[in-house]
Structure 1
Amino acid sequence: MNVTIRVHRFTPKPEEDRARRHSSSPFGAKARNGSPFGSSPSRRRVRGKHWTQDYAIQVQPGQTVLDCLLGIKRDTDPTLAFRYSCGHGICGSDAVAINGTPTLLCTAKVEDYAKPESGQNGGANAMADEGFRPTATKENVVANNASVNDSNQSYDDGRSRIIPSSGDPNNLGGFDDSNGAAANSDSPSNLGLIEIAPLPGFPVLRDLIVDIDQMMSQIKKLEPYLKADGKLATTEDGKIDMFEYLQRPEELKRYELLSNCISCGVCEGSCPVYAGGEAFIGPAALIAASRFINDSRDDDTNARLNAIATADGITACQSVRACSRECPRGIDVGEEMWQLTERVKNRQI
């Protein structure tokens, strides 16, 4: 089956070009680093070239979007950059936005995300981006045919509409010479389009690779490790009690699911507050804090609650609950944010 993979690509400017641009200005990057009003270096937008690129490929049923990108990088375009590691939804390193929805490349099935291309081969029932059907006039038909004919052309901004999966430059438009049918035709074998963009809310380093350093530093800031009193329990005969941290099943259940968080950033890319650039520590860091707040063995609960009860902490959460929609580990992040809000309100100060 045929599918078109549309990738939002980005190439940063060389470091020397960015430094030379501000070298003569007293308000350059060096002067702004110490300002309390400037953005942090990890959140500062990297300048470079943005464009979209389409790849027409053939896929098998059950393939993931990661399989598609690996095939493109191997057979068609070795310059395509994306991040992945385990390929099984465990490491969380391949988080991107597919059709605008943050998710993992390795768990996203092609048949679940492929959609018909808007305005192409849709006839009178095709819907415009604004949600209205176009009027079937002679002018619209001519304009639509012209846009289809021009869809395989290259543009001055470097955007290539179709790159054939075979790598043959003469096979433009994804035509299959074996049967004369176009790869992007309206046929049962054409799955449609999958659009892939970098994870929202994170600075883009190259193509689909984003900088997650700020998210990891925010998690580290809330000290995601067990804090006990340090006193070893002993038995009646003075020996160390090997079961000093023994928990009941209901105590384990309170945080067990939270310990499965893989810090992929999907919840942060879904959050309109964090991805919108507001001052917010983010749901990933708050989930890490909640894991130990709910642990009966931890003795620093009040200090943890005070640490997140700040203007850029749980207070900045707007309870939209968009962070719960696509968690690959099944954590109801929005519910956890609500529970933390209640715990902060009722904490012992």
Structure 2
Amino acid sequence: MVRGEESQAYNVELENVTLLSMLHHVKTKMDPTLTYSHGCRSGVCGSCAVRVNGREQLMCEYKPSDGDVIEPIRNARVIRDLVVDTSSIAYFNSCANAWSEGSREGCVSEEEASRIETQTDCILCGSCYSACPVYAVNPEFIGPFALTRVWRYVNDVREERSDGKMAAVQTNGIWDCTLCGACVPVCPQGIAPMQDIRMLRTKSAMLGYPDPTMNFGGGFDLGGWDF
């Protein structure tokens, strides 16, 4: 079953195929109006992310079962069927300066390269963005995918400009994350954005940025003593 704005059931007798192949069969043999996104068919481009039974998946990797419910990813405007507006990905990356702004030439040790290897594998599929509950209360949240990319660059010894990135993620960024971990199991690349956000918080504290979730104002009345 594919669900965009309305529900539609399809009975397809295909075995051991990916969800993308099954939807292609539906589109070419049963319903030419069915609309979905795909690109590389190899789990690299990230364009075919959807929700299956309430969990984010890549259509080119997922093997469907009877009764599966397929929906577009959340927190994005649905254009049609399973296609959503992904401009928010570029917008939040821009808010976070989540790219290289100048790097030094030179050799990088194996240990230094390993620090950013996992985060470099982000394919911007939007799965963590879809799973994140913060957008229900703060639609301007920079998001786990952009924050994990920020950690990739501020942790790169070749990067010459990281101060601006750290400043950019203080508002609607690392402190707005609830650290619920919903982004971790849905990442097809095995990235743990929650852990990267924790590390960005630690680095922020080392740079002198205050934690806005801590209440340092006011005082305490303990037996007549004012603090």
TM-score above 0.5: yes
Q: Are positions 1:335 and 2:195 aligned together?
A: yes
Q: Which runs of 5+ in 1 are unaligned?
A: 1-5, 10-49, 115-191, 231-243
Residue in 2 aligned with 1:8?
3
CA offset digits 1:160-187 (Å, max 9, x no partner)? xxxxxxxxxxxxxxxxxxxxxxxxxxxx
Q: Are positions 1:294 and 2:178 aligned together?
A: no
Cα distance, 1:225–1:70 mapped onto 2, change above 3 Å = same
- The CA distance in 1 between the partners of 2:183 and 2:190, in whole Å, is 11
**Kept after mapping to 1: 8 A contact 2:103/2:158:** no
Number of aligned pairs?
209
Q: Report the Cα offset of residue 93 of structure 1.
A: 0.2
CA offset digits 1:251-271 (Å, max 9, x no partner)? 111111111101010011111
Q: Are positions 1:51 and 2:46 aligned together?
A: no
Residue in 1 aligned with 2:170?
309
Letter in 2 for 1:93: S
Q: Report the Cα offset of residue 278 of structure 1.
A: 3.6
Cα distance, 1:225–1:280 mapped onto 2, change above 3 Å = closer
- The CA distance in 2 between the partners of 1:88 and 1:248, in whole Å, is 30
Letter in 2 for 1:102: E
Cα distance, 1:302–1:348 mapped onto 2, change above 3 Å = farther
Larger relative contact order (CA 8 Å, sep ≥ 6)? 1
Q: Are positions 1:225 and 2:220 aligned together?
A: no
The aligned runs of 1:1-349 (5 Å cut-off) are 6-9=1-4, 50-61=5-16, 63-110=17-64, 114=65, 192-228=66-102, 244-274=105-135, 278-310=139-171, 312-348=172-208
Letter in 2 for 1:72: V
TM-score by length of 2: 0.86
- The CA distance in 1 between the partners of 2:138 and 2:47, in whole Å, is 21
**Kept after mapping to 1: 8 A contact 2:3/2:72:** yes
TM-score by length of 1: 0.57
SS in 1 for 2:2: strand
Q: Report the Cα offset of residue 276 of structure 1.
A: 5.8
SS in 2 for 1:324: coil
Identity %: 33
CA offset digits 1:126-178 (Å, max 9, x no partner)? xxxxxxxxxxxxxxxxxxxxxxxxxxxxxxxxxxxxxxxxxxxxxxxxxxxxx
Q: Report the Cα offset of residue 227 of structure 1.
A: 3.3
**Kept after mapping to 1: 8 A contact 2:72/2:83:** yes
